[in-house]
Structure 1
Amino acid sequence: MRYSASHKLETRQRLLESSALSAKKSGFSTVGVDGLMKAIGLSGGAFYSHFTSKDELFASIVERELCQSMARLGEGQDRDKLERCLKQYLSMSHVENPQSGCALPALGAEIARSDETVRQQAEHWICRLQESWAGVLQSDSLAWAILSQCIGALVVARMLASPDIQRTVLKSSYEEISRQIARPRT
């Protein structure tokens, strides 16, 4: 039985969404094709009518997730909106729910080990975000520093077992970033 083009597109989108959630929560390399397809109620063999390989799926996940991060964190920013975004980013909710948050802290190590195409794709979106923040902050280097500190703080907080220490990491990072944002640029 042949499916319509719209059905195939809907299935591909469901697979992307489900795989992205799984990858951000448990890591992309931990789940095989059969497991990814089972999560949306299909057999492993159906995977190859949507993607030529698991690597192609990962590249699509990176593109989708970083595009969404750019929309949430980078578009239409002013200092107040940026500060509100950073407060939400550096929150216990983000630590505890990696599947619904930014892909960079969750998938950064896997992106770094990926082929050059995936790394270039990630670079494109990260640079767009940095450029957006640099425009708001009027400093390229401050934008890079804050972007790196946010991702790093989330990674460190997720590595820790104690919620009290996790909160301390997030609060300290947010307070330091807030001081940097408030400082007049010279």
Structure 2
Amino acid sequence: MGYSQADKARSRERILDAAARQISEHGLDSVSVADSMQSAGLTKGAFYAHFASREAMIAEAADRVMQHGQARIDHFFRVKKKPTVAQIVDVWLDPEHIENLGDGCGICALAGEARYAGPEVRQVIAGHFEKNVEQIAQALGGGRAATARATAILTAIVGAVSMARAVGSPELTQVILENTRAMVTHPAFLKCSSE
């Protein structure tokens, strides 16, 4: 019996699902070709029929992780039409988002370890970062000043989420989230100077 293009596509999807799950739960470095292939029910030898390299597989799997988290933000923009910055920030700084690594923002999950990743993975992260900056800038009214402010806001959010997940103390996590929210939603911080 032959192996159709549809079979190959389904196998590729299973490999990417396995790698994305591994990234979400344990980070970029945890992904191995052998484990991903085994989780997909395939032999390690079949890997190169699907991907040019481990890095290529990880980049696609990281994009899948990012898309999953991005879907929540995109849905929020569809529902709210023109959300405020505070509403956007609350999506990221929600304690549930801090606790649920596998279902949240991929940028927050991967930013700390991405410096060790290859250029393909970093490009995926940069693309998603730029999209989120653009969304926040829209809430600020658009333009260069709004984009600069949105970049600072998202950078603060990613840092806050990373630290809130790292400290291991519910009390300190709450302090980090509350103080970051207060800073990035303060009217003086949100005021964009004229272009």
Question: What letter matches 2:186 in structure 1?
Answer: R
- TM-score (normalizing by structure 1): 0.82
Residues 12 and 181 (structure 1 numbering): CA distance in 2 closer, same or farther, change over 3 Å?
Answer: farther
Stretch moving more, 38-47 or 61-70: 61-70
Cα offset, 1:156, TM superposition? 0.2
Residues 37 and 167 (structure 1 numbering): CA distance in 2 closer, same or farther, change over 3 Å?
Answer: farther
Stretch moving more, 40-49 or 17-26: 40-49
Question: What letter matches 2:19 in structure 1?
Answer: S
Contact between 1:137 and 1:181, CA under 8 Å: does it hold in 2? no
Alignment partners' CA distance in 2, 1:167 and 1:21: 27
- Partner-residue secondary structure (3-state), 1:156: helix
Residues 31 and 65 (structure 1 numbering): CA distance in 2 closer, same or farther, change over 3 Å?
Answer: closer
- Aligned twin of 1:87: 90
Contact between 1:70 and 1:128, CA under 8 Å: does it hold in 2? no
- Aligned twin of 1:36: 36
2:192 is equivalent to residue 172 of structure 1: no
- Partner-residue secondary structure (3-state), 1:114: coil
Alignment partners' CA distance in 2, 1:58 and 1:181: 40
- Aligned twin of 2:148: 141
- Aligned twin of 1:60: 60
> What percent of counterpart residues are identical?
28
Contact between 2:55 and 2:121, CA under 8 Å: does it hold in 1? no
- Aligned twin of 2:51: 51
- Partner-residue secondary structure (3-state), 1:52: coil
Cα offset, 1:150, TM superposition? 1.0
- Partner-residue secondary structure (3-state), 1:2: coil
Contact between 2:68 and 2:104, CA under 8 Å: does it hold in 1? no
Q: Provide, for residues 115-149 of structure 1, a one-character-per-residue CA deviation record: whole Å limited to 9, x for no partner.
A: 33433343233223212321221312220111101
| Pairing 1:1-186 to 2, within 5 Å after superposition | 1-73=1-73, 76=78, 78-80=82-84, 82-138=85-141, 139-180=146-187, 183-186=190-193
Cα offset, 1:180, TM superposition? 4.3
For structure 1, the residue ranges without an aligned partner over 5 or more in a row are: none
Alignment partners' CA distance in 1, 2:5 and 2:45: 18
Give aligned pairs, total: 185
* Structure with more relative contact order (C-alpha pairs < 8 Å, separation 6 or more): 1
Residues 99 and 67 (structure 1 numbering): CA distance in 2 closer, same or farther, change over 3 Å?
Answer: closer
Residues 100 and 181 (structure 1 numbering): CA distance in 2 closer, same or farther, change over 3 Å?
Answer: farther
Residues 88 and 133 (structure 1 numbering): CA distance in 2 closer, same or farther, change over 3 Å?
Answer: closer
- TM-score (normalizing by structure 2): 0.79
- Partner-residue secondary structure (3-state), 2:52: coil
Contact between 1:25 and 1:98, CA under 8 Å: does it hold in 2? yes
Cα offset, 1:71, TM superposition? 4.4
